[in-house]
């Protein structure tokens, strides 16, 4: 005759094993997710550091320096500390105005590594390649709205600007500003 207590022992053992397997599985899954998250965060930080050091900071420094030089020339000429031809002052104002319109997104080179990664991902999943993300599209929409607002003044019509500045436009402004600095004999500003 079988004892009724044997069923409880078997059920108890089964329950403990099931519970142990579930705990083991939960810990494994949690560890895997945390590992993936840590890996992504590490790669994200490394990518940010690299992009900042190789692209963001140098471009930002160049744009800031050019804006500073043009602002200094205008301030010195407005105070009378710098005698210069009104055409040079107007040229400097134009350069300063055009420099103010430049955004980082206008002159930064495309992230070719990110584009290639997206291309590989799209090919592996069979999706069409979409280089622009929704986030970039939203940013461009906000920038376009800013452009429209900047073109408006009280009682005037909205002026649509045909295009955003490019890296070539930036390089051209840099040459024009260097020319102004040279004509004024302020070569030390370029050092």
Segment 85-104, tens digit of pLDDT: 899 999 999 999 999 999 88
Alpha carbons 84 and 72: distance in angstroms, whole number: 13
The torsion region of residue 80 among left (phi > 0), alpha (psi -120 to 50) and beta comes to left
What b/e string do you get for 15-37 counting C-beta neighbours within 10 Å, with b at 16 or more? eeeeeeeeeeeeeeeeeeeeeee
- As given in the structure block, the two tokens for residue 102 are 């430049």
Residue carrying structure tokens 């997710």:
33
In this predicted structure, what is the pLDDT of residue 68?
Answer: 95
pLDDT: which is higher, 69 or 152: 69
- Give the Å distances, CA to CA, from 65 to 70, 95, 167, 177: 9, 13, 16, 11
To the nearest 10°, the Cα dihedral for 48, 52, 54, 59?
A: 150
Q: Are 159 and 151 within 8 A, CB to CB?
A: yes
Q: Is the pLDDT of residue 6 over 80?
A: no
* Per-residue pLDDT tens digits for 156-183: 555 555 588 999 999 999 999 999 999 9
Hey, is 189 helix, strand or coil? helix
Confidence grade of residue 136 (pLDDT, cut at 50, 70, 90) = low
String of DSSP letters for 3-72: -HHHHHHHHHHHHHHHHHHHHHHHHHHHHHHHHHHHHHHHHHHHHHHHHIIIIIHHHHHHHHHHHHHHHH
Tokens found for residue 26: 């939960």
- Position 140 scores a pLDDT of 67
C-alpha–C-alpha distance, residues 78 and 92, integer Å: 12
Predicted pLDDT at 61: 94
**What proportions of the chain, in percent to the nearest 5, are helix, strand and coil?**
80, 0, 20
pLDDT band for position 113 (cuts 50, 70, 90) = confident
Q: Is the model more confident about 124 or about 184? A: 184
What confidence tens digit (pLDDT) does each residue in 44-91 have? 888 888 888 888 899 999 999 999 999 999 999 998 888 888 999 999
Query: 99 vs 4, 22, 157, CA distance in Å?
Result: 88, 61, 24
């Amino acid at each position: 005759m079988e004892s009724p207590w044997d069923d409880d022992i078997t059920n108890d053992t089964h329950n403990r094993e099931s519970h142990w397997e579930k705990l083991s599985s939960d810990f494994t899954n949690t560890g895997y997710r945390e590992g993936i998250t840590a890996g992504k965060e590490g790669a994200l930080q490394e990518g940010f550091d690299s992009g900042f050091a190789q692209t963001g900071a140098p471009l930002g420094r160049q744009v800031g320096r050019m804006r500073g030089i043009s602002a200094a020339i205008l301030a010195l000429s407005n105070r009378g500390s710098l005698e210069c031809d009104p055409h040079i002052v107007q040229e400097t104002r134009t350069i300063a105005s055009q420099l103010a319109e430049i955004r980082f997104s206008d002159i930064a080179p495309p992230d070719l590594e990110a584009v290639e990664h997206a291309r590989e991902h799209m090919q592996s999943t069979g999706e069409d390649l979409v280089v622009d993300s929704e986030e970039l599209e939203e940013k461009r929409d906000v920038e376009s709205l800013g452009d429209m607002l900047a073109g408006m003044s009280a009682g005037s019509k909205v002026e649509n600007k045909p295009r955003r500045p490019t890296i070539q436009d930036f390089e051209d402004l840099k040459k024009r500003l260097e020319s102004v600095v040279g004509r004024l004999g302020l070569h030390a500003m370029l050092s």
